[in-house]
Amino acid sequence: MTSPRLAALILGALCIRSAAAALPVGATAPDFRAPAAFDGQRLDYDLVATRSEGPVVVYFYPSAYTSGCNVQARTFSRDHDKFAAAGARVVGVSLDSIERLQAFSADPDFCAGRFPVVSDADGRIAKAFDLRVSAGGGGYRDTRGEAIEHGFAERTTFVVAPDGRIVAAISGLGPEQNVAAALKAVQAMTRTAP
């Protein structure tokens, strides 16, 4: 069995690895529809419908209830009103099961019912965004001590314009810096919008 410290180091490396292969700025974001959780409730998330209401921050993260991902979710939750004031919506995407995400989405210490999180259990969405997806297993445990039995997508955040164009692709930053960079990109985009 892998020690919790080794698992945290491996997940940390996945979280800050540069996403050189990720879709670039100017590319068209792949549209997707997938199961999601919002404040503990299941729903069908549709990127096309969401971006018709304004820019969307699509953030990929390795796993719910892991140290860096907890910080990132908490920061997106804390800054939710700033994203909303800039006209943007936030959605998280991971390879977690919908059941894990139902708990994570409602957890007052993390998502706090502020934004939906999508279950990309087979990694199809992450791969469509040209993100690296690693295999699961290996005895990893989350911060609650529960086994993580799914693969991991690298931490990368995309800001998607209403027309589907990617206006920012953010990787290689720590969780809080990732959120700050996404907010800055959204605010710059909405300041220059006609």
- Residues catalogued as catalytic: 69
Beta-carbon neighbour count of residue 139 at 10 Å? 13
CB 113 within 8 A of CB 40: yes
CB contact set of 32 (below 8 Å; sequence gap of 6+): 45, 46, 47, 118, 124, 125, 128
Burial of 138 (0-12, 13-18, 19+ CB in 10 A): middle
CB 155 within 8 A of CB 15: yes
| DSSP three-state, residue 169 | strand
Q: Could you tell me whether strands 156-160 and 56-60 are parallel, antiparallel, or unpaired per DSSP bridges?
A: antiparallel
